[in-house]
């Protein structure tokens, strides 16, 4: 099981069975769940296990009725370097390797297949179909962030590159340390970014800025990221480290991580204190409005949503409190 490190906030429970993720609920922030990428030695790049564990951990946290907000963070110096190069190489080789010739039967029996990944289909069309299925599966892992009923806040320190940008653009809010930087790197790697950046980034920073970042692959610092709308808050670095209290083993390289996580937790706690159904409905309606641009359709959708969930115990309490205020006036 992955271990918290010195800057991981104190958890009251850690979800078992994860080798590349530390996840659970924060001990000192009711309603706030926490998910931390735990591959600092590989700059939290996504490999096979992390691709499988990430959406599963999100679903597990989101399914807990006590969860009001999720904070996404990462161990080590850098937030996320995207997809692990070894993982990419292995998968490309699998797709490009032709199938072995049929084994000759000996004595009427058959020769067992060698262990390892399944060979690529012989048909080029089938190869491309297999690649498409693989891309869709990776997209679904990140889209799980939007699929969560509760808001997800990203706390970014250090470098956030390639697939890391895909990851944070699928979150609902983004904070970063003053030393953080961002790069839509794929074009330099002869790849068209395909995990969500090109679809989500224009809604955050505008079409022209997104085109600039994606075509130039230039690095954007924290203040520019705030100015263009990629992040909402820049948190001054606190390089003292060791403020989290997680108690895990291993060295700590703060680079502003402790400060930005603390700020994200504070923001998450303030959102968690608000009426849950209203928060969840706000997230869902805003995402629907983004993906269904006509205003008329957005108005119809929110009318349908509120007709189903507006009448709640939370609303009753607010109305009662409001009646008391009016009586005092």
Contact predicate 156/231, CB 8 Å: yes
- In 3D, which of 119, 123, 142, 249 has the Cα closest to residue 197? 142
Contact predicate 55/141, CB 8 Å: yes
Contact predicate 67/150, CB 8 Å: yes
Phi, psi angles (nearest 5°) of residue 200: -95, -35
- In 3D, which of 286, 264, 275 has the Cα closest to residue 35? 264
**Helix H or strand E encompassing 85:** helix 85-96
Phi, psi angles (nearest 5°) of residue 235: -105, 125
Please state, in angstroms and rounded to a whole number, the distance separating the CA atoms of residues 58 and 141: 9
Q: If you ran DSSP here, which 8-state letter would residue 31 be given?
A: T
Q: If you ran DSSP here, which 8-state letter would residue 80 be given?
A: B
Q: Show which residues are catalytic.
A: 83, 163, 166, 186, 194
Residues 6+ apart with CB under 8 A from 10: 26, 27, 28, 244, 245, 246, 247
Helical segments of 256-294, H only: 257-272, 276-291
């Amino acid at each position: 099981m992955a271990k918290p490190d010195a800057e991981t906030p104190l958890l009251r429970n850690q979800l078992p069975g994860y080798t590349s993720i530390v996840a659970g609920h924060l001990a000192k922030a009711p309603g706030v769940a926490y998910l931390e990428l735990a591959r600092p030695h590989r700059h939290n790049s996504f490999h096979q296990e992390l691709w499988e564990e990430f959406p599963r951990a999100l679903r597990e946290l989101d399914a807990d009725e006590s969860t009001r907000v999720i904070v996404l963070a990462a161990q080590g110096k850098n937030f996320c370097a995207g997809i692990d190069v070894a993982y990419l190489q292995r998968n490309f080789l699998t797709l490009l390797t032709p199938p072995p010739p049929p084994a000759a039967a000996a004595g009427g029996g058959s020769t067992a297949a060698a262990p390892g990944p399944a060979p690529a289909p012989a048909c080029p069309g089938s190869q491309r179909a297999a690649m498409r299925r693989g891309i869709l599966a990776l997209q679904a892992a990140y889209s799980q962030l939007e699929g969560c009923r509760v808001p997800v806040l990203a706390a970014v320190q250090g470098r956030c590159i390639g697939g890391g940008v895909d990851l944070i653009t699928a979150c609902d809010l983004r904070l970063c340390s003053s030393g953080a930087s961002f790069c839509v790197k794929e074009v330099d790697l002869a790849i068209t970014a395909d995990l969500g950046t090109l679809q989500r980034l224009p809604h955050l920073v505008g079409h022209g800025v997104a085109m600039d970042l994606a075509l130039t692959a230039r690095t954007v610092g924290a203040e520019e990221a705030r100015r263009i709308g990629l992040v909402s808050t820049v948190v001054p670095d606190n390089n003292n480290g060791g403020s989290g209290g997680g108690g895990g083993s291993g060295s700590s390289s703060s680079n502003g991580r402790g400060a930005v996580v603390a700020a994200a937790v504070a923001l998450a706690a303030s959102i968690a204190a608000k009426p849950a159904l209203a928060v969840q409905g706000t997230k869902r309606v805003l995402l629907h409005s983004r993906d269904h641009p006509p205003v008329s359709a957005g108005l119809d959708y929110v009318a349908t949503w509120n007709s189903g969930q507006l009448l709640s115990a939370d609303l009753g309490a607010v109305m009662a409190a409001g009646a008391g205020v009016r009586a005092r006036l």
